[in-house]
Structure 1
Amino acid sequence: MKIIRSVLWVVIIVALALFTAFNWTSVDIRIWESLVLETKLPVLILVAFLLGFGPMWLTHRTTVWRLKRRIGSLEASQRSLIASQNAPTPNATAPNAPGRHEPVTGGTGIDTLGREDDRL
């Protein structure tokens, strides 16, 4: 892709050089009755091009800058959302909470009432 871009720039520069060489004539630009500007035709065309291109280029650059900032903000919020979803959540009741009691067995398979514990 870089080679295509380079070839395109070379073609544009050669075309501009040929246009400048064949059209290097003086032109008179009448701004007011008493104000006349004498300039070369390629310079006039370049100035006209830059007057049209400049504002559009600035508009494009500011739009790209604004969109990059917005993308960065959205990526940061996405990272924080993913981090909050992956964070461990605490249990509703702790293992030694006052309302929760585990039966205590002595390891013999018989509970405190003398019945055999079939959970072993």
Structure 2
Amino acid sequence: MLLGRYDPAGRLQYVGRSTTLSREVGRAVADHLAPPRGAHPWTGWTFSAGWGTQRTLDAVLVRPDVVMEIDVDVARDSAGRWRHPARPHRIRADVDVQEVPLFGEGGTLS
């Protein structure tokens, strides 16, 4: 799963990807996904299958309005993206995307 956060200018920034989803988590996530309305902000982008590999992922872009609670290592690359895959915990249907701290501002949800 590709992960993104909005920046202060309202652009969806790629911040990393998750570990492989378990069947249970994959099903729970799938229930919340929908096709994008119009063009997705990442249309035309390619994503690496892993650190240091030339292989790219086949990504299906969806509406970027699902909030997920994750556990992530704090190591970041020079662009501020997480270097290691995030471990997904649960969908936060009680949190709106507008409540997530903006990319570059840090912070956590309460």
Fold match, TM over 0.5? no
- Whose strand fraction is larger, Structure 1's or Structure 2's? 2
Higher RCO, Cα 8 Å, sep 6+: 2
TM-score of the superposed pair, with normalisation by structure 2: 0.21
- TM-score of the aligned structures, taking structure 1 as reference length: 0.20
> Comparing both structures, which one devotes a greater share of its residues to helix?
1
Asked which structure has the greater CA Rg, the reply is: 1
